[in-house]
Amino acid sequence: MTRWIVKGHQNTLVTRIRKLYERREANSEWGSPEHHMLRRARIDAARVEPGYKGNPLGLPTFLVGGAILSSVISGLRAFIDWAFNGGLVQGVVLASVGGLVFGFLAWAALYSAGVARHRIKLCTDQPVKALWETVGACGHPPKDGSYDFAVYAIILLALAWVLVPLAIWLVVAKLN
């Protein structure tokens, strides 16, 4: 997850830098030294941009979509069928496992968001801020998505706190 957040920020950053250079080049005086420097910067940014646009997960798409996803969904379906066709114990086990999974995913997302924010802060924040100040009058540098990712993790954890007791209550009510 950390790699996904950091690579997503790098993709956004490289695209915004290229667009910044394009706009500044278009607005500069033709033939001036600034125009030549901005043209070189734009060409260099366009040249390196495809290298940053790779798969942020680092796994081939067919592997995620075919092998892993179908296996996980089949296992979940079998587990849910077992839990709903059983008694009280199976329902409580299903709710408890669901709560543990939600809790683990929320913890992993929060931890990944924190590590990603730290990496982005160490590697890109100061140079990008300096670039935006040097170019001037171009708005604010792009923000990374680690804060949003942390908010989603907190929402996931809150859902686990609500859904797990609700699922246990529904199973107990169904049996009575």
Rounded average pLDDT over 84-99 = 76
Residue 18 belongs to what H/E stretch? helix 2-27
The residue whose two tokens read 């940053």 is 52
Rounded average pLDDT over 83-95 = 75
Q: How many domains does the chain have?
A: 1
* Contact between 91 and 168 (Cβ < 8 Å): yes
**DSSP letters spanning 47-102:** HHHHHH-S-TT-S-HHIIIIIIHHHHHHHHHHHHHHHHTS-HHHHHHHHHHHHHHH
Q: Is 119 helix (H, G, I), strand (E, B) or coil?
A: helix
Task: Please give the Cα distance from 14 to 45 (Å, whole number).
Answer: 7
Task: Output the pLDDT for position 46.
Answer: 92
pLDDT confidence tier of residue 111, bands split at 50, 70 and 90:
very high
Task: Output the pLDDT for position 138.
Answer: 82
Q: Is 176 helix (H, G, I), strand (E, B) or coil?
A: coil
Task: Output the pLDDT for position 91.
Answer: 72
Is pLDDT of 17 > 70? yes
Task: Please give the Cα distance from 138 to 8 (Å, whole number).
Answer: 21
Domain that holds residue 113: 2-175
Q: What is the pLDDT of residues 116-172, one digit of tens each?
A: 999 999 999 899 999 888 887 888 888 888 888 889 888 888 888 887 788 777 777
- Confidence (pTM): 0.71
Task: Please give the Cα distance from 144 to 135 (Å, whole number).
Answer: 20
Spatial neighbors of 71 by CB under 8 A, at least 6 apart, are: none
C-alpha distances out from residue 7 to 15, 58, 108, Å: 12, 10, 17
* Contact between 6 and 119 (Cβ < 8 Å): yes
Amino acid occupying residue 160:
A
